[in-house]
Amino acid sequence: MGIEFADNVWLLKLDLVATVALAALLLMFGGWLRKVFPALVRFCIPSAVLGGFAFSLLAWLLKETGLLTFKLDTTLQMPFMIAFFTTVGLGGSFGLIKKGGRELIIYLVGCWVLAVAQNAVGVAAAYLTGIHPVLGVMAGAVSLEGGMGAASAFGPTAEQMGVNGAFVVAVAAATYGLVSGGLMGGPLAKWLVEKNDLPIVTQGDHLEGLSEIGRTEGDAASSDKLIAMMTVVLVAMVLGAVFSARIKEMTAFVLPGYVGAMFMAVLFRNLNDAVPLVKLHDKSIDLIADISLGIFLTMAMMSLKFWELYNLALPLVVILIVQTVFILGFCIYLLFPLLGRNYDAAVMCAGMIGHGLGATPNAVANMGAVAERFGVVSRKAFLIVPLCGAVLIDIVGIPNIVWFMNYFGK
């Protein structure tokens, strides 16, 4: 860590420990902002985004005024990111799909179709606006269905492939999605209910046992349990790295490191469901996920280079408008009829808007707002939407993103 004067500007260099310490401070600052401004909680804006975004804006201002620039050591960003997505993989039990019934299958396939379509729409819009097609992928399933986590993961990968501005575009699109996904889901469901004069009843009783499927030991976390779950995560990360390297060696196909780790975690979870080897502990896994996501996402946001967005602002706005119109049409004219044109279907459409543009917390918040408005909770929606939007979508969503990036990044 040190400071030097070069090219008529001060340069502050932060080493690995200082960078992580700054990320932790910014994460806490973001949490404080959420407490002070409740609207940030209502729109499900993460603490990491708030803290990291604030630093990025400050760094941009200082650079533009010629007062100070920063050099961060983000070496640990990648390991934290891989650890987070490994914990996501540990929640991917295929037993949940078999117990969820027809509606779960329809909704899940809808998520998969939307993920592919968002990339196709993004690429087409990128060609029409004259920018690199991979930037369309960044403003497609990467940032919308994938959310801020996938944007922060795939953005640097696209940059390494030579697509300048990919990370900034992905994060900007994900930020838009977080806000718009929280604003439009509830009103859409209200419109569907009133337009179709739907009876405010739910048919979710047959899914009563779904929330218990795949649940693991739920008592309080301890150091022993945390170490055990950390070991599972680390082993999956190592095996995933070997798997990804082997795939690249055999096929020249670039598979991001965290995809291999998540695949290994899903494989382990389902083998462990069939033949219990390790007693998984939900709360310990959640702790690892929260810490990993918080630090890696804050570090990613800290590293934003807004000056790279100057020439991409107008094309990005066009792509996001097209994506928004597309998902609204998808929910109204395809998903809602397939799910049965009932109250449950309307609530699930609100959820789809939430995580299809933003993130799973947006989906839950949207459905909660609909339930509060009409006085009836759709248990079916609250069980199916988080399961599909947070975990099962990645079975197709991530390979789809990887394929689009490799095909159009050539």
Inter-residue contact 360 to 219 (CB < 8 Å): no
**3-state SS, residue 217:** strand
Within 8 A by CB and 6+ apart from 244, the residues are 255, 256, 257, 259, 260
Confidence of residue 382 (pLDDT cuts 50, 70, 90): confident
Q: Which amino acid makes up residue 250?
A: M
User: Which pLDDT tens digit goes with each residue over 113-142?
Assistant: 999 999 999 999 999 999 999 999 999 999
Per-residue burial over 257-266, b if 16 or more Cβ lie within 10 Å, else e, is bbbbbbbbbb
Inter-residue contact 111 to 352 (CB < 8 Å): yes
State which of 90-94, 210-214, 388-392 shows the largest mean pLDDT.
388-392
- The pLDDT value recorded for residue 56 is 85
User: Which pLDDT tens digit goes with each residue over 282-332?
Assistant: 889 888 988 888 888 788 778 777 666 666 778 888 999 999 999 999 999
Inter-residue contact 298 to 48 (CB < 8 Å): yes
- What is the CA 115 to chain-centroid distance, rounded? 12
> For all residues of the chain together, what is the average pLDDT?
84
Token duo for residue 100: 């969820």
Beta bridge partners of 4: 11
- The pLDDT value recorded for residue 393 is 84
Q: Which letter does DSSP use for residue 71 in this model?
A: E
State which of 10-14, 24-28, 43-47 shows the largest mean pLDDT.
24-28
- The pLDDT value recorded for residue 218 is 53
Token duo for residue 173: 């699109």
Q: Which residue has the higher pLDDT, 380 or 51?
A: 51
Confidence of residue 404 (pLDDT cuts 50, 70, 90): very high
- The pLDDT value recorded for residue 125 is 93
Confidence of residue 48 (pLDDT cuts 50, 70, 90): confident
Phi, psi (5° rounding) for residue 3? -130, 140
Token duo for residue 160: 């390494």
- Whether residue 214 is predicted with pLDDT greater than 50 in this model: the reply is no
Inter-residue contact 362 to 205 (CB < 8 Å): no
- The pLDDT value recorded for residue 388 is 82
C-alpha 266/C-alpha 240 separation (Å) is 11
Within 8 A by CB and 6+ apart from 171, the residues are 143, 148, 151, 152, 155, 300, 301, 304
Confidence of residue 371 (pLDDT cuts 50, 70, 90): confident
- The pLDDT value recorded for residue 255 is 64
User: Which pLDDT tens digit goes with each residue over 57-109?
Assistant: 898 888 888 888 888 888 898 899 888 878 877 876 666 666 657 888 899 99
**Distances 286 to 42, 220, 298, 355 between C-alpha atoms, Å:** 22, 11, 18, 20
Q: Which amino acid makes up residue 166?
A: A
State which of 190-199, 248-257, 261-270 shows the largest mean pLDDT.
190-199
- Whether residue 22 is predicted with pLDDT greater than 70 in this model: the reply is yes
The percent of residues above 70 in pLDDT, for the chain, comes to: 89
- The pLDDT value recorded for residue 342 is 92
Confidence of residue 39 (pLDDT cuts 50, 70, 90): confident
User: Which pLDDT tens digit goes with each residue over 134-184?
Assistant: 999 999 999 998 887 788 888 888 988 888 888 888 988 887 887 788 778
Confidence of residue 213 (pLDDT cuts 50, 70, 90): very low
- The pLDDT value recorded for residue 9 is 81
Strands 9-14 and 2-6: antiparallel
Q: Say what the pTM is.
A: 0.67
Strand order in the sheet with 2-6: 2-6, 9-14, 68-72
- The pLDDT value recorded for residue 141 is 92
- Whether residue 199 is predicted with pLDDT greater than 80 in this model: the reply is yes
- The pLDDT value recorded for residue 212 is 46
C-alpha 401/C-alpha 154 separation (Å) is 9
- Whether residue 232 is predicted with pLDDT greater than 90 in this model: the reply is yes
Beta bridge partners of 69: 11
